[in-house]
Chains A and B, each alone.
Chain A
């Protein structure tokens, strides 16, 4: 039975989403929401939507309670959560409410807000797999697809209902109308698949704060790309002077010390692509974040050569994000900018602080590649 409340409930959810959309820019630079990430949903804290009323200042209000305790004993906290606010229906003004939003919706909002172009997947984009699966039952069909169990169930049902079923002599005879046949559904499987390869500098000069920025930014990149591709792989590479592939947890939480040789990461990245993600079949998105300090000019040249000769040919776009930290920034972005023209599929972006994430996402994803 459908509920009448459905309409009001949807309207309410839309209002909430409108609010999130309006303040998305602010949400983009915040990290609270990622702690509450489920498989397909995130819960986002939004200020309670409320109809204003003339009402008393709750901080001044007194209440009456019951129970043990001396004068001066603490019975609750003032933030108004849970007990303490005393009188029914009297909730403090700035309640926070958690709203669950699916990642798809979030991506849609992000796309609208940043005016991101839809990505045209390449590779086997037009090839879709057709697959037949027998998932349902129908009343007509060829005898070869007859479903015995359902047919007899139906016949038994009919006989019981019409009173012709005899318990002592339980013979069930299906009639024409009892017959049930297996039926199939053709599903199309789009083949456009993508891989995101995250690389991060974890050398001594990268602080927690910078990593936080990387984490927030990659959450949004992930959300967007996932909405564009049916299937997506994520790979993670960390590097200081040496690079290695790690899992997601390690990626965000490792801190090493030592120098930085960016080319090491690019080599690992290249290996991963060569081994698992042939460019003809995959949309490849390497993202690299560092503070821009590199070991030496020589290594800068190594990187450029790697990009020029190998990497750029094997990926949709290569993104480099330079995160500013307490030690300032290096000049790797500058080196890249000088060596590659805008037409090439290398995108660089500088992220000064959390507020810069918004623009940076736009830089990376605004090209629609």
Chain B
């Protein structure tokens, strides 16, 4: 449903305020939906149409139960697309709708300007619908069960992509070994007149063949460890055309969603910063203040075992703005060791606003935290690290030390919180087996899941698959040959 006249007037007002603040967003379309439709859209990852799969149904069950029991409510959804689409919950109060609209303009600005979104498909709305109808077509042709089983397989490895790869220009592969001059055929030294006896034709043939075999082994596939496992499988796995198409659809969608995971803190922080700025400076009426404050603080709430990206994001943006307004950066500031001087530091530079616009343009969550998370900020925000205390089975606060907190945060953000999995060899043992490696960075894999996933990969690859990983300080190789698992101990780690 389109916005009501009243809401549309509000929208016009808020949009103007946002423009005055120099936000630069895609044309933004609002739609009013009821809770059922909202849950549906949210289950589809924000899109009104997706390919058919039960995982969306599972998501829907959880969302609608959560809503029915009053545990959660989705106020708004916004989609990275040009034009940007936003869904508002019909039952929101007026002040909520205002807040949400301001919030949406923040997101829309972020989508349009943040560098990490630059490579995303801005016609995703159409693309996703097309993906849906293509897969529906395959279902018609190959049967529901077949296609669903294949989708299940693809979805287990949808996270094995390389989110940075869209930005890297790789040299064209020099794989074409045929161009290299052939090695000379090895001969046994002999007197010329004896040559035809010592190196007979058959022997030379043999030698030549050996050379060719050696060259064959040199052709490693892939040449370098490949992080985009999906791409590797697309290129080399023995798939039928329709299977390839489905796998590539899943891969495209993973790449589309990746930047949202890479910039969760910034994106939510930025949108929250702007809804708060727009609402409190221009758009709130007196009677709305209390409700607004209630809902804003609800969104910003923190619980001990949970990092709220809205809260961390908005506070960090505010901190950056304040520091650049007061000139709390650079050599002079860093070198200063007088506590009282630091506290009163103010050079009246007024560069804050400009700075945060720059930050929203070039950073992602990792560089954002890495660059701007300061010791003062961490202690003001009362941040800590927590972990599982194995003896009691409880999660406990472990540390309040700045470096550890920052490291933990960065670690959890690295590779969108996923383990690094590479393809090392597509012809392992020269038997066409696939060799995957988990690059160990301190955390082991969930074993049962790893095994199940390996099975899926085997399904695609059609030959045995191997995964090198680390468990309890040991390098191990888990293999699956289509029916059985095998685990080989490879060595102790130092």
Binding site for B on A (CB under 8 A): 1, 3-5, 7-13, 15, 49, 51-79, 83-90, 93
A75 contact set on B, CB distance < 8 A: 304-305, 386, 394-397
**Chain A neighbourhood of B39, CB < 8 A:** 5
A-B contact pairs, 21 of them (CB 8 A): A4-B44, A5-B44, A5-B60, A7-B57, A8-B56, A52-B448, A52-B452, A53-B159, A53-B453, A54-B445, A59-B388, A62-B398, A63-B387, A63-B412, A64-B384, A64-B386, A66-B381, A67-B302, A71-B396, A75-B305, A84-B395
Please state if A76 and B57 are interface contacts (CB–CB under 8 Å). no
- The interface residues of chain A lying within 8 Å CB-to-CB of B418 are 53-55
Chain A hits for B43, CB < 8 A: 5, 8
Interface assignment of B36: CB less than 8 Å from any CB of chain A = yes
- Is B210 interfacial (CB 8 A cutoff)? no
Which listed residue (A13, A53, A66, A74) contacts B392, Cβ 8 A?
A74
A56 proximity list for chain B (CB < 8 A): 417, 419, 443-446
Q: CB within 8 A of B305: which of A63, A71, A72?
A: A63
Closest A residue to B398 by CB, please name it.
A71
Bound: A1/B34 CA distance, A: 11
Tell me, yes or no, whether B450 is within 8 Å of chain A by CB: yes
Q: Which of A1, A51, A78 contacts B156 (CB 8 A)?
A: A51
B152 interface hit (Cβ, 8 Å): yes
Contact in complex: A57, B53 (CB < 8 Å): no
A54–B437 alpha-carbon span in the complex (Å): 11
Is A55 within 8 A of B408, CB to CB?
Answer: no
Closest to B155 in A: A51
Chain A residues whose CB sits within 8 angstroms of the CB of B83 once the complex forms: none
Interface Cβ pair total, 8 Å cutoff: 211
- Whether B205 sits at the interface, judged by CB under 8 Å, is no
Chain B: which residue is nearest A61 at the CB level?
A: B443
For residue A8, which residues in chain B have a CB less than 8 angstroms away from its CB?
A: 43, 52-57, 60
Contact between chains at B395 and A87 (CB < 8 Å): no
> Does A63 contact B397, Cβ atoms closer than 8 Å?
no
| Distance (whole angstroms) from the CB of B55 to the closest CB of chain A | 7
Complex CA gap A63/B304 in Å reads 10
- Are the C-beta atoms of A60 and B382 separated by less than 8 Å? no
B56 adjacent to A5 (CB under 8 Å): yes
CA distance A351 to B404 in the complex (A): 59
Does A52 contact B419, Cβ atoms closer than 8 Å? no
Partner pick for A64 among B264, B408, B453, CB 8 A cutoff: B408
Question: What is the distance, in angstroms, from A24's C-beta to the closest C-beta of chain B?
Answer: 21
Q: Beyond A62-B387, A73-B396, A83-B306, is A54–B453 a contact (Cβ under 8 Å)?
A: yes
CB-based closest 4 A-B pairs: A12-B57, A52-B452, A8-B57, A83-B305
| Alpha-carbon distance A75/B389, docked complex (angstroms) | 11
Given A63-B412, A67-B304, A84-B395, residue A78 in contact with residue B388 (CB < 8 A): yes
The answer, yes or no, to whether B160 is at the interface (CB within 8 Å) is yes
Q: Within 8 Å CB of B302, what residues of A?
A: 65-67
With CB as the reference atom, state the residue of chain B lying closest to A49. Answer: B58
| B422 CB to nearest A CB, Å | 11
With both chains docked as a complex, state the minimum distance between the C-beta of A235 and any C-beta of chain B, in angstroms.
37
Are B305 and A65 in touch, CB under 8 angstroms? Answer: yes
Partner among A15, A60, A73 whose Cβ is within 8 Å of the Cβ of B397: A73
Kindly state whether residue B99 has any CB partner on chain A within 8 Å. no
User: Which chain B residue lies CB-closest to A85?
Assistant: B305
B382 x A64 contact (CB < 8 A): no
Contact A62 B385 (CB under 8 A): yes
CB distance from B368 to the nearest CB of A (A): 14
Asked whether, in the complex, the Cβ of B56 is within 8 Å of the Cβ of A66, the reply is no
**Nearest A residue (CB) for B449:** A52
A60 to B485, CA, bound (A): 24
Q: How far is the CB of B117 from chain A (nearest CB, A)?
A: 20
Q: When A8-B52, A54-B421 are in contact, do A65 and B394 touch as well, CB less than 8 Å?
A: no
Q: Given A54-B159, A83-B306, A86-B305, do A68 and B444 touch, yes or no (CB 8 Å)?
A: no
User: Does chain A have a CB within 8 A of B331?
Assistant: no
Instruction: Answer whether A65 and B304 are a contact pair too, CB < 8 Å, given A71-B398, A77-B393, A93-B449.
Output: yes
Q: A9-B56, A60-B443 are in contact. List 19 more A-B contacts (CB 8 A).
A: A4-B44, A7-B57, A8-B43, A11-B52, A52-B450, A54-B159, A54-B449, A55-B419, A62-B385, A63-B305, A65-B383, A67-B303, A67-B384, A68-B382, A71-B397, A73-B396, A75-B304, A76-B394, A90-B417
